[in-house]
């Protein structure tokens, strides 16, 4: 089976789907690996390192035309879909539920596709969980990036010239990214305050040394399988009121609050931004899903009411070495779960296959996504 990797084309994307170690692993399992020339350069992986690991360095057109399986980080754009070999298999992030046009074009072309973000988050699939591996790194980078925009240090410092008070970091949302952000900000010496609305998050926050901002849950807060499914407008208004004084006193606010499949909840209003000290920083990790802060702008860093608001949507790409290494491990774990060197198994009753298989032989097979695609086609 020939596995191809091409250079990512999305703006500011430095990651690559396979690392040289990943190539070595696949080659040892009997797969043939082809890489578009320079595909790994932005992740600091040279063509020579890939060749030494057993890959063949090829042109873009050869990578596509030879591929039985194409591995990518981001979902293909329309040009990339045209390049895919009919009948081949694609594995990448797809966010299929919000991308029905892509799904429809893949099925029209007879592409079989598996989506990395649709791998079920069950214990035995943890090694395939690219959402977590990338969110973990993003949480770290969010703190470092925000700190770099702050005209202050994090720790308390007692010097002959006087005492510097520690910075205060408020983190909204204590999922995978938020927990890593707490740990990183604590290690740098900040005072860290955290709000989440899942009941189990309090203990996790406190175990990392964060102070939990308690917001009393009401009947509208729906939590299912460890995820928030929805909250009412009244609850959000009450939450905003409660966190307002914490935001006003913060040097940095990092927001990570997401509700899967829905627009991100608004947690930071314009009045809250106005209440912050001049020179404070907000980093909105939910910016791609509509933002937790009303003033954040996608992929821009702006200053509003004296506050720097960072809307960087691809933080893992700012740590391409680690992000590509972990993604490569995740995607290999999925590929080798689904296939051996000769064939895909297509065990349609098995959980990981069932959850991640989006299109199969020209048909949209994922039930919830098939409905969405049917509605755009009709």
Using the contact rule CB under 6 A, the part of the chain among 145-153, 196-204, 244-252, 322-330 near ligand NAI is 196-204
To ligand NAI, the closest distance from the beta carbon of 377 in angstroms equals: 29
Q: Name the CA radius of gyration of the chain, rounded.
A: 22
257 near ligand NAI, judged by CB under 6 A: yes
Tokens representing 38 are: 């320079």
Closer residue to ligand NAI in complex, CB, 212/227: 227
For 87-155, give the DSSP string: T-EEEE---GGG-HHHHHHHHHTT-EEEEGGGS---GGGGGG-HHHHHHHHHHHHHHHHHHHTSSS-SS
Closer Cβ to ligand NAI, 104 or 201, answer by number: 201
Q: Quick check: 228 binds ligand NAI (CB under 6 A)?
A: yes
Active site (annotated) includes residue 88 = no
Quick one: 227 exposed, middle or buried, by C-beta within 10 A (0-12, 13-18, 19+)? middle
Q: Is 124 annotated as catalytic?
A: no
Residue 294's SS3 state is coil
Residues 72, 35: Cα–Cα separation, whole Å = 11
Residue 326, helix vs strand vs coil = helix
Choosing from 46, 126, 207, 220, which is the catalytic residue? 126
Strands (E), the chain: 2-5, 32-36, 56-58, 69-71, 89-92, 112-115, 157-159, 162-164, 168-172, 191-195, 211-212, 222-224, 227-230, 252-255, 281-284, 301-304, 307-310, 357-360, 363-364
Nearer to ligand NAI, 181 or 191 (CB): 181
Q: Which CB, 131 or 254, lies closer to ligand NAI?
A: 131
193 touching ligand NAI, by CB under 6 A: no
43 is catalytic: no
Binding mask 116-135 for ligand NAI (x = CB under 6 A): -----x----x--x-xx--x
Please indicate whether residue 28 is annotated as part of the active site.
Answer: no
C-beta closer to ligand NAI: residue 265 or 291: 265
Near ligand NAI in 236-255, by CB under 6 A: 239
Quick one: which of 86, 162, 226, 367 contacts ligand NAI (CB under 6 A)?
226
Q: Is 289 in the site for ligand NAI (CB under 6 A)?
A: no
Q: Between 29 and 198, name the residue whose CB sits nearer to ligand NAI.
A: 198
Please state the closest distance from residue 257 (CB atom) to ligand NAI, in A: 3
Cβ within 8 Å of residue 295, ≥6 positions away: 268, 270, 273, 282, 302, 304, 309
For 291, the 3-state DSSP assignment is coil
CB 39 within 8 Å of CB 65: no
Smallest gap from residue 359 Cβ to ligand NAI (A): 24
- Please confirm, yes or no, whether 129 is among the known catalytic residues: yes
Q: In the complex, which residues of this chain contact ligand NAI (CB under 6 A)? A: 121, 126, 129, 131-132, 135, 172-178, 195-198, 201, 226-228, 231, 239, 256-260, 265, 267
Active site amino acids? 121, 126, 129, 132, 227
């Amino acid at each position: 089976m020939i596995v191809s990797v091409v250079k990512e084309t999305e703006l500011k994307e430095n990651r690559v789907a396979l690392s040289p170690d990943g190539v070595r692993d696949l080659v040892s399992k009997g797969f043939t690996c082809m890489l578009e020339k320079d595909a790994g350069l932005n992740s600091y992986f040279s063509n020579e390192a890939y060749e030494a690991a057993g890959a063949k360095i090829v042109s873009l057109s050869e990578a596509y035309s030879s591929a039985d399986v194409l591995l990518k980080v981001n979902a293909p754009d329309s040009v990339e879909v045209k390049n895919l070999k009919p009948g081949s298999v694609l594995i990448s992030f797809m966010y299929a539920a919000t991308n029905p046009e892509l799904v429809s074009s893949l099925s029209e072309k007879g592409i079989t596709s598996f989506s990395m973000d649709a791998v079920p988050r069950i214990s035995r699939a943890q090694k395939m969980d690219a959402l977590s591996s990338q969110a973990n790194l993003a949480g770290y980078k969010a703190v470092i990036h925000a700190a770099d925009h702050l005209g202050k240090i994090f720790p308390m410092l007692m010097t002959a010239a006087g005492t510097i008070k520690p910075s205060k970091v408020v983190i909204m949302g204590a999922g995978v990214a938020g927990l890593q952000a707490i740990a990183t900000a604590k290690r740098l010496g900040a005072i860290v305050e955290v709000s989440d609305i899942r009941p189990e998050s309090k203990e996790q926050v406190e175990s990392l040394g964060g102070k939990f901002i308690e917001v009393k849950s009401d009947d509208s807060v729906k939590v299912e399988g460890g995820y928030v499914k929805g909250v009412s407008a009244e609850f959000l208004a009450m939450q905003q009121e409660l966190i307002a004084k914490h935001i006003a006193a913060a040097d940095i606010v990092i927001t990570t609050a997401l509700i899967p499949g829905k627009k991100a909840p608004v947690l930071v209003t314009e009045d809250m931004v106005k209440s912050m000290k001049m020179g404070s920083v907000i980093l909105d990790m939910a910016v791609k899903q509509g933002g937790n802060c009303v003033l954040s702008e996608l992929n821009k860093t702006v200053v509003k009411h004296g506050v720097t608001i960072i809307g960087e949507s691809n933080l893992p790409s700012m740590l391409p070495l680690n992000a590509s290494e972990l993604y490569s491990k995740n995607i290999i774990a999925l590929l080798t779960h689904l296939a051996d060197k000769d064939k895909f198994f297509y065990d349609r009753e098995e959980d990981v296959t069932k959850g991640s298989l989006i299109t199969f032989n020209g048909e949209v097979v994922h039930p919830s996504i098939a409905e969405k695609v049917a509605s755009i086609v009709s």
